[in-house]
Structure 1
């Protein structure tokens, strides 16, 4: 029987946000990331959307005991989608991989009413910087859609429940990339 693993492409790349064992770099072919919102949450969040021309980096990690309940609870706004055949990884034994994605009919582009939280983006980019270096973090930006959405600067009072403290160079990288793509930062708490 194959061991259950998940493919994380957002905050799950940042090992400081979870305690799943054996996280390893991997690539998911045929998908890209997008900032979206649903009526299930007050802010925009990342989802994976099918795109046959794109491959994204992320992390796979083992689901302890095959118990998906803890991860399903964390990722409650998503559907768990089988992805084993689309993931390139270096695990030597047989594994079964799932990716979490919001079905297309349930999400919409972000808006001022549903902004991207800077505290959430910081966590995601911190994970990419640590796991894939600057080049990997750059690829995160280029393989993610929805950068025209407003980004709520909540760093002073983070709203993202798993926010992390960034080092100055990590914050600088995020701010530089957002400036380079012309992101619209809105102030708020």
Structure 2
């Protein structure tokens, strides 16, 4: 039986965060990313929301034997939704693909109590840079909303469990985009303690 596939558009784009070896660059039509938070996690993270006029880059990878348990556990704050429109991918067949998204009405805007982790954003940008180059990083920032969210600079003590080491040039790239977007970066020492996220 042919494996089902997932479409990753955030940290799953960074191959260092998972062991799905057969992953392929792809693009999904009809979605955009946004920073949100739910009651299921102490910090904000990316979700996908429907948007007929937008395409987003990501990776698709097969879920061996259609066993979704490990991936569903990693993405426990999301619903798994069938992805209908995948206009760009390298496969010689049309795969059956799912995307993870938080249901409508179950997510809110990030706040100081639920900030975006810079260690998480670093992982995402590193993934896009590796897979799609600097143009792909630009498309990531352009097709993601919610950059008015507070971003907690936790690089000195990363709260994101899949955090990665960035090269100086990768760090500079992330910081340059945050300056361009006039993002509000809050230093760890200036923020109340938050639990380390489990996912």
TM bucket normalised to smaller: over 0.9
Q: What's the TM-score, normalizing by structure 2? A: 0.92
Written as runs of structure 1 = structure 2, the 5 A alignment for 1:86-105 is 86-88=85-87, 89-105=89-105
In 1: Cα distance, 2:165 partner to 2:41 partner: 24
Residue 60 (structure 1) aligned with residue 66 (structure 2): no
Q: Secondary structure at the match of 1:72?
A: helix
Residue 17 (structure 1) aligned with residue 11 (structure 2): no
In structure 1, list runs of 5 or more residues that go unmatched: none
How many residue pairs match? The answer is: 188
In 2: Cα distance, 1:76 partner to 1:41 partner: 10
Deviations 1:76-133 (A, max 9, x none): 00000000x3113121134210000001210011111110000000000000000000
Written as runs of structure 1 = structure 2, the 5 A alignment for 1:1-189 is 1-83=1-83, 85-88=84-87, 89-188=89-188
In 2: Cα distance, 1:167 partner to 1:3 partner: 35
Q: What's the TM-score, normalizing by structure 1? A: 0.97
- Structure 1 stretches (4+) deviating beyond 3 angstroms? none
Deviations 1:116-168 (A, max 9, x none): 00000000000000000001001100100000000000000000010000011
The CA RMSD over aligned residues, in Å, is 1.0
In 2: Cα distance, 1:96 partner to 1:2 partner: 9
In structure 2, list runs of 5 or more residues that go unmatched: 190-199
Q: Contact 2:3–2:64 at 8 Å: present in 1 too?
A: no
